[in-house]
Chains A and B, each alone.
Chain A
Amino acid sequence: MTYHNPPTPPRKSATFDDAALAEIRRAAATGIYDIRGGGTKRKVPHFDDLLFLGASMSRYPLEGYRERCDTAVTLGTRFAKKPIELKIPVTIAGMSFGALSGPAKEALGRGATLAGTSTTTGDGGMTNEERGHSELLVYQYLPSRYGMNPTDLRRADAIEVVVGQGAKPGGGGMLLGQKISDRVAEMRTLPKGIDQRSACRHPDWTGPDDLEIKILELREITDWEKPIYIKVGGARPYYDTALAVKAGADVVVLDGMQGGTAASQDVFIEHVGQPTLACIRPAVQALQDLGMHRKVQLVVSGGIRSGADVAKALALGADAVSVGTAALVAIGDNDPRWESEYNALGTTAGAYDDWHEGKDPAGITTQDPALAARLDPIAASRRLANYLKVITLEAQTIARACGHNHLHNLEPEDLVALTIEAAAMARVPLAGTDWIPGHKGL
Chain B
Amino acid sequence: MPAFDLSTTSIRALNEALHGTGEPLKDRRFEVRNPRGSHAVAVGCRDQITVAVHGPVGYYCGGMNAAATITVHGSAGPGVGENMMSGSIVVEGDASQYAGATGRGGLLVIKGNAASRCGISMKGIDIVVGGSVGHMSAFMGQSGHLVVLGDAGDALGDSLYEAQLFVRGKVKSLGADCIEKEMRGKHHATLEQLLSKAGMRGADPSQFRRYGSARKLYTFNIDNADAY
Knowing A213-B39, A216-B40, say if A148 contacts B83 (CB, 8 Å). yes
Q: Is B40 touching A204 in the complex (CB atoms < 8 A)?
A: no
A245 at the interface (CB under 8 A from B): no
User: Count of chain B residues with Cβ under 8 Å from any Cβ of A?
Assistant: 43
Provide the residues of chain B in CB contact with A177, threshold 8 Å: 219
B53 at the interface (CB under 8 A from A): no
Q: Is A221 touching B43 in the complex (CB atoms < 8 A)?
A: yes
B24 to chain A, nearest CB (A): 14
Q: Is B219 touching A194 in the complex (CB atoms < 8 A)?
A: yes
Instruction: Produce 1/0 per residue, A191-203, CB < 8 A to B.
Output: 1001100010001
A391 to chain B, nearest CB (A): 37
Q: Is B44 touching A221 in the complex (CB atoms < 8 A)?
A: yes
Q: Is B15 touching A220 in the complex (CB atoms < 8 A)?
A: yes
B180 to chain A, nearest CB (A): 20
A442 at the interface (CB under 8 A from B): no
Knowing A204-B120, A220-B12, A221-B64, say if A148 contacts B102 (CB, 8 Å). yes
The docked-state distance in angstroms from the alpha carbon of A195 to that of B220 is 7
B54 to chain A, nearest CB (A): 20
Q: Is B220 touching A217 in the complex (CB atoms < 8 A)?
A: no
Instruction: Give the total number of A-B pairs whose CB atoms are below 8 A apart.
Output: 100
The docked-state distance in angstroms from the alpha carbon of A199 to that of B60 is 20
Q: Is A217 touching B123 in the complex (CB atoms < 8 A)?
A: no
- Chain A residue nearest to B66 in the complex (CB): A150
Provide the residues of chain A in CB contact with B219, threshold 8 Å: 177, 194-195
Knowing A145-B123, A150-B64, say if A203 contacts B117 (CB, 8 Å). yes
| Segment 151-167 of A: residues with Cβ below 8 Å from B | 151, 153
Provide the residues of chain A in CB contact with B43, threshold 8 Å: 217, 220-221
A224 at the interface (CB under 8 A from B): yes
Provide the residues of chain B in CB contact with A18, threshold 8 Å: none
Provide the residues of chain B in CB contact with A144, threshold 8 Å: 121
A222 at the interface (CB under 8 A from B): yes
A126 to chain B, nearest CB (A): 14
Q: Is B123 touching A214 in the complex (CB atoms < 8 A)?
A: no
Q: Is B63 touching A221 in the complex (CB atoms < 8 A)?
A: yes
Provide the residues of chain A in CB contact with B223, threshold 8 Å: 31
Provide the residues of chain B in CB contact with A216, threshold 8 Å: 11, 39-40
- Chain A residue nearest to B39 in the complex (CB): A213
Q: Is B12 touching A224 in the complex (CB atoms < 8 A)?
A: yes
Provide the residues of chain A in CB contact with B140, threshold 8 Å: 199, 203
A20 to chain B, nearest CB (A): 20
Q: Is B40 touching A213 in the complex (CB atoms < 8 A)?
A: yes
Kindly identify which residue among A32, A149, A191, A213 contacts B60, using a CB–CB cutoff of 8 Å: A213
Instruction: Produce 1/0 per residue, B75-104, CB < 8 A to A.
Output: 000110011010000000000011001101
B143 to chain A, nearest CB (A): 5
Interface of A is mostly: loop
The docked-state distance in angstroms from the alpha carbon of A203 to that of B79 is 9
User: Count of chain A residues with Cβ under 8 Å from any Cβ of B?
Assistant: 30
Q: Is A145 touching B40 in the complex (CB atoms < 8 A)?
A: no
Knowing A189-B124, A223-B19, say if A150 contacts B44 (CB, 8 Å). yes
Provide the residues of chain A in CB contact with B21, threshold 8 Å: 223
A22 at the interface (CB under 8 A from B): no
Provide the residues of chain B in CB contact with A390, threshold 8 Å: none
A205 at the interface (CB under 8 A from B): yes
Provide the residues of chain B in CB contact with A217, threshold 8 Å: 39-40, 43, 59-60, 63, 79, 82
Provide the residues of chain A in CB contact with B139, threshold 8 Å: 203
Q: Is A213 touching B15 in the complex (CB atoms < 8 A)?
A: no
The docked-state distance in angstroms from the alpha carbon of A194 to that of B16 is 41
B62 to chain A, nearest CB (A): 10
The docked-state distance in angstroms from the alpha carbon of A205 to that of B58 is 13
| Segment 169-228 of B: residues with Cβ below 8 Å from A | 218-220, 222-223
The docked-state distance in angstroms from the alpha carbon of A99 to that of B22 is 40
A418 to chain B, nearest CB (A): 43
B40 to chain A, nearest CB (A): 4
The docked-state distance in angstroms from the alpha carbon of A195 to that of B219 is 5
- Chain B residue nearest to A145 in the complex (CB): B102
The docked-state distance in angstroms from the alpha carbon of A411 to that of B173 is 58
B108 to chain A, nearest CB (A): 13
- Chain B residue nearest to A30 in the complex (CB): B222
- Chain B residue nearest to A176 in the complex (CB): B220
- Chain A residue nearest to B98 in the complex (CB): A204
B12 to chain A, nearest CB (A): 7
A286 to chain B, nearest CB (A): 26
Provide the residues of chain B in CB contact with A199, threshold 8 Å: 121, 140
The docked-state distance in angstroms from the alpha carbon of A177 to that of B15 is 41
Q: Is A191 touching B162 in the complex (CB atoms < 8 A)?
A: yes
Knowing A32-B222, A150-B44, A217-B43, say if A189 contacts B63 (CB, 8 Å). no
The docked-state distance in angstroms from the alpha carbon of A222 to that of B21 is 10
Provide the residues of chain B in CB contact with A214, threshold 8 Å: 59-60
Knowing A31-B222, A217-B60, say if A204 contacts B102 (CB, 8 Å). yes
The 6 closest A-B pairs by CB, nearest first: A221-B44, A31-B222, A204-B98, A145-B102, A204-B79, A194-B218
20 contacts between A and B (CB under 8 A): A31-B223, A32-B222, A148-B83, A148-B102, A149-B83, A149-B104, A150-B83, A190-B142, A194-B161, A195-B218, A203-B121, A204-B78, A213-B58, A213-B60, A216-B40, A217-B39, A217-B59, A217-B60, A221-B43, A223-B19
Given contacts A177-B219, A203-B117, 11 further A-B contacts (CB under 8 A): A31-B222, A32-B220, A149-B64, A149-B83, A190-B161, A194-B219, A203-B98, A216-B39, A217-B40, A217-B60, A221-B15
